[in-house]
Structure 1
Amino acid sequence: MTYRAAIVGTGGIAASHIAALRGRSDVTAAAAIDVADDRVHEFARNWEIPRTFTSLTDALASEDIDVIHLCTPPATHLPLAREALAGGVHVLLEKPPALSLAEHHELISAVDSSTATASVIFQHRFGSGATALRQLASTGKLGKPTVTTCDTQWYRDDAYYAVPWHGTWAAEGGGPTMGHGIHQFDLMLSVLGRWEQVSSMTARRTRPVETEDISAAVVRFASGALATVVNSVVSPRQESRLRFDFEFATIELVHLYGYDDSAWTFTPAPGHEELAETWGDLLTGRPSGHAAQFDDYYRALAAGRVPEVSARNALHTLEFAAAIYASAAQNRAVSCTELTSSSAVWRSMNPGRTARAAASA
C-alpha cells in the first residue's frame, strides 16, 4: 500500500518530515496545509507537493488522506488531531504532543474512539545505538542500572523568542523541559523504564519568556536507579549528553540534535570486556532522526500494529515533564502516582496559571 500523507504546518520542522519521506516507496506527500497561504505555496513548490490548503477541514474534504504529519505549534495539536482521528486519518504529532496531561488524555480518548492511531515524534529512540542499548540492557548482561546523567544544554537567543508563541505557557506549554530536553529524557526513559519520584527546580535567568529557561531534576526509578536531568536554552557551548552507568558497563552518548553510531562510547567494567564486542555486534549504522522513526511508523501501519511511540506510550514522557514542573512549583518531591486529574499540573504545566484561572472563574 502507498500511504497518502499531508504535512500540516510548514514551519522549520516540516522540512525534516518531508525530507525523511522523500524516496520512500510506501508514502507520497499528497498535500501541504498551513494557515498562511503564501508560506504553504512556497513550501509545496520547493518540495513538489501537488495540493495546498489553508485548513485541515478543507484538505480532508477534498483529498484522500491516510496520515497527517502534524508540524504546527503545540497549542493546535489536540484540536487538529481530534479532527483527523474523527475522520479515520492517522496522526503523527511533533513534540510535545499536548500542552498538558488533561489534553494528552483527551488525545488518547480520541484515539480510542477512532479506527486510526496517533503517534508522537521521539526520533532519538530509533537510532541503532539506542536500540542496541535497550536490547543489551533487557538481557541483564549489563547488570543493574545505577546512575544516569541526561543533559540538554542548548542555546536559543532572543531572536528565537521573537516568534510569538515561543516561550509561552498558552502556546508552547513550557520552556526547554517541554520543547527541547524532552528528546533526551524520552530516550533515557525508554532505556530505564518507569520513574517513581522527581525532585526539581526551574529558573528563568536570561531569556525574555514566560516559562523557565533552565530546569534541573533528580529522579528515582522503579529499578532503584538514580538520574540527574538538566534542560537549558542558555548554554553557549551546546551539547546533548546521556551517560548510563550499569554494574558492568558505562554507555555514553554525546551529540547535539541527532546521532550516529560514532557518537556512542562503550566502556566495560574490569572483567566484562566481552560486553564491548557484544555491543559492537548490535550496532547497525542507523542514525537517529525522522527517517529512522518513519521506518518503524509506516511498517507498523502496514502490519496493522500500533506504532512504538503511540499516544498512550508517550504519556509516560509527558508525565515526567509534568513532574518536573510540579516539583519545582511545590518545592517538594513528586511521585508518579500523584499525576491524576486532581494534580496541580493536570491542566497546565504552570501550576500558578491554573490556580489563577480557578480563582477568577
Structure 2
Amino acid sequence: MAQRIYRSAIVGTGGIAGAHARAVRESGRGRLVAAVDVDAERARAFAGEWDVPLVFTSLDEVLLAEELDLVHICTPPGPHAHLASRCLAAGVTALVEKPPVVSLAELDRLAEAERGSAAFVATIFQQRFGPGAARLRRMAAAGELGRPLVATCLTQWYRDGDYFAVPWRGSWDSEGGGPTMGHGIHQFDLLLSVLGPWREVTAVAARQARQVDTEDVSMALVTFDSGAVATVVNSVLSPRQVTALRFDYEHATVELEHLYSYTDADWRVTPAPGHDAVAARWAADPAPGGSGHSGQLASVYEALDAGLPPPVTLADARPTVEFIAAVYASAFTGERVQSGAVPAAFVERMDGTGAPWR
C-alpha cells in the first residue's frame, strides 16, 4: 500500500530552514507546498532553491489558502509559541525548531492549547534520533551497562561579535536566553533523554565577553532520580569547538564527541574490567546515517501515520525546558533548584527577576 504524502509548509526561511527542506526532500514522505517569511524576497529565493511552488508572507495566509498536514516553524524563537498555537487552531500539526518556547509558562500554555486541538506540537530535538542514542537508551534500560554514575555534557562553541549583530540574537525577549537556551539545548536534551528525570540543579551563568543581554556561558551540576550526577557546560566563547557527552556506568564508559551532528563513528565504548561483552554488544549493532533532521522527521511521519502525537511531544520537551529555567534560577539566585520547584519569576521568563549584570 502506498504511503501517505504529507503536505507541508516552512515558516521562516533562514539558515535552519534548509535542513528541514532537505529532510522533507530526502524522506519521500513529504511535499513542501509553501514557503512563508515576512521577507518576501527571501521566501522567493528559498522557494526557488527548494522547488516550492507557493510563497506567503504570513502563516495565517497559508493556513487559509492551503490544506496542510504539517508546518515546520523555523523562525527565531520569540514567535514559536504563537505560531504553533495558530497551527493548532487550524488543526495543523506544528514541528517547531528548538527552543520550542522562550519560557516554561509559554510551553504550559501551548500544551493547554494542544489539548483542545486535533493537531499536535512537536519539538526538533534531532540528537535524540541519531545513531547510537537509541542503542544507548536501549542498553541502559536493559541493564547491560549497570547503574549510571557520572556524566558530562559539553557544548563549547565559538560565536563572535558579528554573530550577535543580528538584532534578535542575545536578547531575553527574542531568544529566551543565551547558549543555555539556544546552543547547548540539543546536547543536554540528549543527556536528559538518556539519564531520565533530573532532581536538582546548582548553576552559574556569566556574561564574560559578548555584548549581549543574555549569558555567554553557563555551568550546572545536576543530580538525577537514578542517583547519577552530571556536569553541563554551555559556552559560545570557546575557539576550539567541541560537543562532547560522556556517560560513566558501572560496566562501561560511553562517549560521544562531534560538533554539530554525529554518526556511529563518533561514539566510543570503554568497558570496565570484566565487562568486555558490553563493547562487543555495542559493536554488533551498528546503525547507518547521522543525527540530522531526517531521522526525527521519519519518526514524525510514522507517528502521524498511526494517528499518534509525533516526537518530541511537549510533555517530552518539558523536562528540558524546565531544566533551562532551573539553570537560570539557580545561577541568578544562588540557590539550588529542584525539579517541580522553579521559582515563579523564572517560570514566566528565563531571566526571572533579572540577570545580575543587567
- Could you say whether these structures have the same fold, taking a TM-score greater than 0.5 normalized by the shorter chain as the test? yes
TM-fit CA distance, 1:219:
0.4
Decide which of 209, 214, 217 is 2:212's aligned counterpart.
209
Structure 1 residues 258-277: aligned runs within 5 Å: 258-277=261-280
Secondary structure at the aligned position of 1:124 is classed as helix
Query: Contact 1:10–1:72 (CA<8 Å) still a contact in 2?
Result: yes
Structure 1 residues 90-129: aligned runs within 5 Å: 90-129=93-132
Secondary structure at the aligned position of 1:73 is classed as coil
Q: Tell me, in whole angstroms, the C-alpha distance in 1 between the residues paired with 2:8 and 2:265.
A: 33
* RMSD of aligned Cα (Å): 1.2
- Equivalent residue for 1:242? 245
- 1:169 and 2:172 matched: yes
Q: Tell me, in whole angstroms, the C-alpha distance in 2 between the residues paired with 1:138 and 1:86.
A: 38
Q: One-letter code of the match for 1:141?
A: E
Query: Contact 2:26–2:294 (CA<8 Å) still a contact in 1?
Result: no
Query: Contact 2:27–2:294 (CA<8 Å) still a contact in 1?
Result: no
Decide which of 60, 81, 85 is 1:57's aligned counterpart.
60
- Equivalent residue for 2:329? 326
Identical counterparts, % of pairs: 51
- 1:188 and 2:191 matched: yes
Q: Please list every run of 5 or more consecutive structure 2 residues that lacks an aligned counterpart in the other structure.
A: none
TM-fit CA distance, 1:354:
9.9
Change (3 A) 1:203 1:269: same
Q: Tell me, in whole angstroms, the C-alpha distance in 2 between the residues paired with 1:166 and 1:23.
A: 31
TM-fit CA distance, 1:352:
2.3
- Equivalent residue for 1:36? 39
Query: Contact 2:203–2:219 (CA<8 Å) still a contact in 1?
Result: yes
Secondary structure at the aligned position of 1:215 is classed as strand
Q: Tell me, in whole angstroms, the C-alpha distance in 2 between the residues paired with 1:308 and 1:84.
A: 17
- 1:348 and 2:343 matched: no
Query: Contact 1:29–1:49 (CA<8 Å) still a contact in 2?
Result: yes
Query: Contact 1:344–1:354 (CA<8 Å) still a contact in 2?
Result: no
Q: Tell me, in whole angstroms, the C-alpha distance in 2 between the residues paired with 1:354 and 1:257.
A: 28
Decide which of 142, 147, 156 is 2:145's aligned counterpart.
142
Query: Contact 1:348–1:354 (CA<8 Å) still a contact in 2?
Result: no
Secondary structure at the aligned position of 1:338 is classed as coil
Q: Tell me, in whole angstroms, the C-alpha distance in 1 between the residues paired with 2:354 and 2:271.
A: 47
Decide which of 183, 199, 202 is 2:202's aligned counterpart.
199
Q: Tell me, in whole angstroms, the C-alpha distance in 1 between the residues paired with 2:273 and 2:155.
A: 30
CA shift digits 1:262-307 (9 cap, x unpaired)? 1000011110001111111233123111011111111111111222
Secondary structure at the aligned position of 1:352 is classed as coil
Q: One-letter code of the match for 1:76?
A: P
Change (3 A) 1:354 1:61: farther
CA shift digits 1:228-287 (9 cap, x unpaired)? 000000000000000000000000000000000010000111100011111112331231
Runs of 4 or more, structure 1, over 2 Å off, are 352-355
Secondary structure at the aligned position of 1:103 is classed as helix
Q: One-letter code of the match for 2:292?
A: G
Secondary structure at the aligned position of 1:140 is classed as coil
Secondary structure at the aligned position of 1:82 is classed as helix
Q: Please list every run of 5 or more consecutive structure 1 residues that lacks an aligned counterpart in the other structure.
A: 356-361
Q: One-letter code of the match for 1:352?
A: T
CA shift digits 1:115-139 (9 cap, x unpaired)? 0010000000001210110000000
Q: Which one is further off, 300-309 or 157-166?
A: 300-309
Secondary structure at the aligned position of 1:111 is classed as helix
Q: Tell me, in whole angstroms, the C-alpha distance in 1 between the residues paired with 2:353 and 2:158.
A: 26
Aligned length: 353
Q: Tell me, in whole angstroms, the C-alpha distance in 2 between the residues paired with 1:2 and 1:311.
A: 24
Secondary structure at the aligned position of 2:78 is classed as helix
